[in-house]
Structure 1
């Protein structure tokens, strides 16, 4: 698989198909999580996926370096230039949506359109100080070794509802070492920088005709529903509804792809 060397990191990336360039960006989700959706779009698009810096196959020169939306946006800019098929339509979800927003702020000439699906940053919310404190607390809980406790606090903050015992089943016991390493990096070096990101609203408003704010139709009342609607309101844009919840593109890519195609076209 190809690797692109960027300042401080070596990015794993994958290219599928041919046609107009689409970049699928997650954070902390890696390229594998987006592969089924990429396969569906590759019939008539050049589709690029990547592991964000420090995650899975994208190695850092300094493993202790924090991952910020600005750093990840610069990585995407270099990747788009390297592939040399742009400008790109960028679909970013969760932290990847914040990456895409940072990209259109800094390098608008590389972007045809961005679809920011459920960006989790809270700078535009009235209770941002409380959310910052809760985020700091759950990060500290995870770094103390209480993984189950941290995930329960995360689910409570985000509004994700899971059956009783699901957190213990998902995050307890024996787990894949790479998944554990990526999770710890996300808590230690990525979550705070993503959730506390401060947008440049003037720059985003200038780019607003090319910005689509996406929300899952099963995400009503959740944290990312609030953050997405706050951003859409600040940009005077109507959000676009997509099938499923926060990771609808991964849970059911066959249902998600037609909605994404309608925006791409």
Structure 2
């Protein structure tokens, strides 16, 4: 059974879902809403209490100030507040894409709240040798959004991320549906205007992550080799002195291979 809740904290009303029983596992996306994690959450609910939520300003999580930027630090504090709402001191965390950046901020800022963090393909562009070039490309995407709208900005985003021109993976805006809804368009607009810059410019505190006590595992998609997030994942794992763990599928492999993805995630968590 899945239950839906609203948590009111200063500045935002967070919509979240809870399913299953067992140790708490947070599934974090950014800008992916809870709905995109539902198949994976269902696959994990037999042995975990799984919490998913709409990130601040996305879908059902409404901001007091719609112009407020979404930063990894703010989203990390939201994750901690959700744990507080369940009366749980610590949890395992899977963060994907921007949600992986959220998880990195959480593990660095509040390490005692995280048992194991699986950071699946975090787009930490500042870790790359060509960071200045990637930063400029991100600024061009944002400027394109303000000048031309979501569609042209999304096309540039996909190309910059390494996807083929005619390829539309599952998810949004990491992979928007072919005919986006009004909510999809609103979430994409917020992503370009208020989230993309802060997420991609985040620099993980490697020393804090290595110091623990949170265990940090970098996840990488088996089919992600051509993607920008493959490079950022390899770079982060190298700084942490670890090897990336290979997960089924691509950047959002959990959307189309949830059972297989859940199996690998369980193996990673069991090894902690």
Q: TM-score range by the shorter chain?
A: over 0.9
Specify the SS of the correspondent of 2:225: coil
C-alpha distance in 2 between matches for 1:199 and 1:145: 32
Task: Kindly report which structure 2 residues correspond to 1:61-210, keeping only aligned pairs within 5 A, or say none.
Answer: 61-163=64-166, 175-207=180-212, 210=215
Report the Cα distance in structure 2 between the residues aligned to 1:164 and 1:254, rounded to whole angstroms.
23
Match 2:31 to one of 28, 49, 65: 28
CA distance in 1, matches of 2:58, 2:231: 27
Q: Structure 1 residues 62-71 or 248-257, which shifts more?
A: 248-257
Question: Equivalent residue of 2:78, what SS?
Answer: helix
Aligned pair count?
Answer: 262
Q: In the aligned structure 2, how far is the partner of 1:175 from the partner of 1:188?
A: 18
TM-score by length of 2: 0.92
Q: For 2:207 and 2:107, how far apart are their aligned partners in 1?
A: 12
Write the distance in 1 (CA, Å) between the matches of 2:149 and 2:79.
33
CA–CA separation in structure 1 for the residues paired with 2:9 and 2:204: 24
- For the Cα contact (< 8 Å) 2:71–2:195, is it kept in 1? yes
- Structure 1 residue matching 2:211: 3-state secondary structure: helix
CA contact (8 A) 1:53 1:60 kept: yes
Seen in structure 2, the aligned counterparts of structure 1 residues 62 and 106 have a Cα distance that, compared at 3 Å, is same
Residues 37-69 of structure 1, C-alpha deviation per residue, up to 9 Å, x if partnerless? 101111111110000000000000000000000
* 2:236 aligned with 1:231: yes
Contact 2:95 2:119 in 1 (8 A): yes
- Structure 1 residue 173: deviation in Å? 8.8
Q: Is the 8 A contact 1:14 1:49 kept in 2?
A: yes
Do the aligned residues in 1 keep the contact of 2:96 with 2:122 (CA within 8 Å)? yes
Contact 2:40 2:262 in 1 (8 A): yes
Following superposition, the deviation at residue 215 of structure 1 comes to 0.1
> Helix, strand or coil: the match of 2:242?
coil
CA contact (8 A) 2:168 2:176 kept: no
Shift of 1:149: 2.5
The aligned residue for residue 248 of structure 2 is 243
Task: Give the CA RMSD over aligned residues.
Answer: 1.9
- With over 3 angstroms needed to count, the CA separation of the structure-2 counterparts of 1:64 and 1:165, relative to structure 1, is closer
Distance in 1 (alpha carbons) for counterparts of 2:45 and 2:84: 19
Instruction: Give TM-score, length-normalised by structure 1.
Output: 0.94
Where in structure 2 are there 5+ consecutive unaligned residues? 170-174
Q: CA offset at residue 175 of structure 1? A: 3.5
- CA distance in structure 1 between the aligned counterparts of 2:87 and 2:141, rounded to whole angstroms: 41
- How far 1:162 sits from its partner (Å)? 4.4
Q: 2:226 aligns with which of 221, 229, 233?
A: 221
Q: CA deviation at 1:257?
A: 1.2
Maintained 8 Å contact 2:20/2:49: yes
Deviations 1:57-95 (A, max 9, x none): 000000000000000000001111211234100000000
